[in-house]
């Protein structure tokens, strides 16, 4: 174990876990800590998008809000400004040799933007005559002062402790004490804090919604949906008609599957990451609910270069076929996907939308498409993926970037606001964490957020029953076939269903 000090890191202990660079056993020890978050690159470690994993808990400050609470975006903006002021440009990697080899998340802001938090950004989206009485999750973020960080490429693991306080001060003595405390927790020697020990009380309770009434004969035992196959196909046709009438170009439609929770959230997440490992997988204890995700899709990534410029990358996914155990079949399916005019058009429309969103906070002419409709293979599916890059304006924060781009266009459609109105009308229920985003804004100046697809939310409903909710959907264009789109949702649900129906 070694210690390195420099820049804004007071404690950076490289840990020798016997060559094991997987944080699964750390999670097993520490998941009971308040607001545990595990940003888990469970696959694709050979690529930058899956290179790092981070685990933290027990934040020094906490802010959560449901959709009936006051707008929490100003809190996120304030936290980002304060965090950014702690990182002078000359200390941001790679300028500081003492920290240049560390993973990008040292500690800072981490948590969830649920899909409906867009209502605060665009108030016209908020229903005016909804009979809903139960609160909807909106935002849950913590200020985390320490993290376990893994570089899967180099097989190195660190415990990073910043000494960050709820007043955004950095203290070396506190950093050392916290690092020692975390190691005692890991060794099982020391009492665990409770949620009441959080330093900041900026918190609003989020109560649960009642379980949906099943409206179909589920094809999987114990699974219900807010659609039948026929009604989902009819909703797809409705969108096609709207597109042909000029209302929009593309709309993402999802059905929400529900199942009784038969095990603890940490157990289901362990099962899910084994069945469907993904580069943007995550576990998050938001207090009143848990988010368990095996997402393959990144939303926004921020990195600083040698000149101090902050590069932004977004990688929209549109276009899906199955991945089988037959390599030749996978090649055939992949070739069909690459040749699909419908899927390419769907992807390109979202690329244009993301270019427009990035241009609101990036420097002139810096926004470029560097990859278009490339085939990527994951555990159970193959996707068309594009890459859009830009350079963040010098006076913009990551909160400004999130506000300009949220929610990701790949899970709304285009134009974004009109697509979201159509989604709300046809789905008739809030999405919650699904299609929102989970990630971090680091003291290092870096940031990473995913898009929460392939995601389960575990929560307790008013009856006292614990349930799993896991929406699945896809983008609808004028060329969409209702029956094929319906079947695609079940292809996407396959790995989630395998984990859920085998649990307990």
Q: Which of 266, 318, 346, 469 is catalytic?
A: 318
Task: Respond yes or no on whether the N-terminal peptide bond of residue 407 is cis (omega within 30° of 0).
Answer: yes
Q: Which of 116, 266, 297, 427 is catalytic?
A: 297
Strands (E), 26-136: 37-40, 52-56, 61-66, 108-113
DSSP 372-422: EEEEEE-SSEEEEEEEEEEEB-TT--HHHHHHHHPSPGGGTEESHHHHHHH
Q: What three-state secondary structure class fits 110?
A: strand
How many Cβ atoms sit within 10 Å of the Cβ of residue 341? 9
**Residue 499, both tokens:** 């984990």
As a whole number of angstroms, the distance between CA 67 and CA 427 comes to 18
- Is 318 tagged catalytic? yes
Distances (CA, A) of 286 to 114, 139, 304: 11, 9, 29
- Is 297 tagged catalytic? yes
DSSP state of 233: H
**Residue 448, both tokens:** 């990473």
Q: Nearest 5°: phi and psi at 177?
A: -60, -40
As a whole number of angstroms, the distance between CA 475 and CA 494 comes to 18
Residues facing 253 on adjacent strands: 474
- The β-bridge relationship of strands 250-260 and 9-15 is unpaired
Q: What is the CA radius of gyration of the chain?
A: 22
Among the listed residues 239, 264, 261, 258, the one whose alpha carbon sits nearest the alpha carbon of residue 250:
239
**78: Cβ contacts below 8 Å, ≥ 6 apart:** none
Q: Which residues are catalytic?
A: 297, 318
């Amino acid at each position: 174990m070694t210690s390195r000090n420099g820049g804004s890191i007071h404690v950076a202990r490289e840990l020798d876990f016997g060559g094991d660079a997987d944080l699964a056993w750390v999670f097993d020890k520490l998941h009971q800590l308040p607001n545990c978050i595990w940003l888990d690159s469970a696959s694709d470690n050979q690529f930058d998008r899956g290179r790092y994993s981070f685990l933290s808990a027990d934040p020094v400050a906490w802010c959560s809000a449901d959709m009936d609470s006051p707008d929490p975006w100003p809190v996120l903006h304030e936290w980002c400004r304060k965090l950014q002021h702690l990182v002078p440009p000359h200390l941001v990697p790679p300028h500081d040799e003492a920290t240049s080899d560390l993973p990008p998340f040292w500690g800072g802001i981490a948590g969830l933007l649920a899909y409906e938090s867009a209502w605060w950004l665009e108030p016209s989206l908020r229903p005016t005559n909804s009979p809903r009485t139960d609160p909807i999750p909106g935002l849950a973020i913590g200020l985390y002062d320490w993290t376990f960080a893994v570089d899967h490429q180099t097989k190195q693991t660190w415990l990073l402790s910043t000494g960050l306080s709820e007043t955004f001060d950095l203290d070396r003595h506190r950093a050392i004490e916290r690092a020692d405390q975390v190691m005692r927790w890991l060794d099982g020697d020391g009492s665990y804090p409770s949620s009441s020990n959080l330093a900041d009380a900026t918190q609003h309770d989020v109560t649960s919604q009642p379980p949906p009434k099943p409206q179909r004969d589920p094809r999987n035992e114990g699974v219900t949906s807010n659609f039948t196959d026929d009604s989902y196909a009819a909703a797809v046709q409705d969108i096609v008609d709207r597109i042909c009438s000029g209302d929009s170009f593309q709309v993402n439609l999802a059905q929400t599957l529900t199942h009784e929770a038969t095990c603890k959230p940490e157990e289901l997440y362990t099962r899910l990451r084994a069945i469907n490992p993904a580069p943007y997988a995550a576990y998050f204890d938001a207090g009143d609910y848990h988010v368990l995700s095996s997402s393959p899709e990144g939303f926004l990534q921020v990195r600083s270069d040698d000149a101090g410029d902050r590069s932004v990358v977004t990688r929209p996914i549109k276009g899906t076929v199955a991945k089988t155990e037959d390599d030749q079949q996978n090649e055939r399916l992949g070739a069909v996907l690459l040749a699909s005019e419908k899927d390419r058009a769907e992807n390109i429309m979202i690329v244009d939308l993301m270019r427009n969103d990035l241009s609101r906070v990036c420097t002139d002419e810096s926004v470029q498409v560097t990859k278009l409709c490339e085939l990527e293979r994951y555990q159970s599916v193959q996707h068309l993926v594009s890459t859009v890059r830009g350079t963040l304006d010098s006076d913009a924060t990551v909160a400004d970037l999130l506000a300009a781009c949220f929610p990701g266009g790949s899970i709304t459609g285009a134009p974004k606001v009109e697509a979201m109105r159509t989604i709300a009308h046809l789905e008739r229920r809030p999405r919650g964490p699904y299609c929102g985003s989970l990630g971090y804004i680091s003291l290092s100046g870096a940031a990473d957020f995913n898009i929460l697809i392939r995601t389960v939310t575990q929560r307790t409903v008013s009856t006292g029953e614990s349930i799993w909710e896991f929406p699945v959907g896809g983008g609808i264009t004028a060329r969409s076939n209702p029956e094929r789109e319906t079947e695609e949702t079940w292809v996407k649900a396959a790995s989630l269903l395998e984990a859920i129906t085998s649990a307990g």
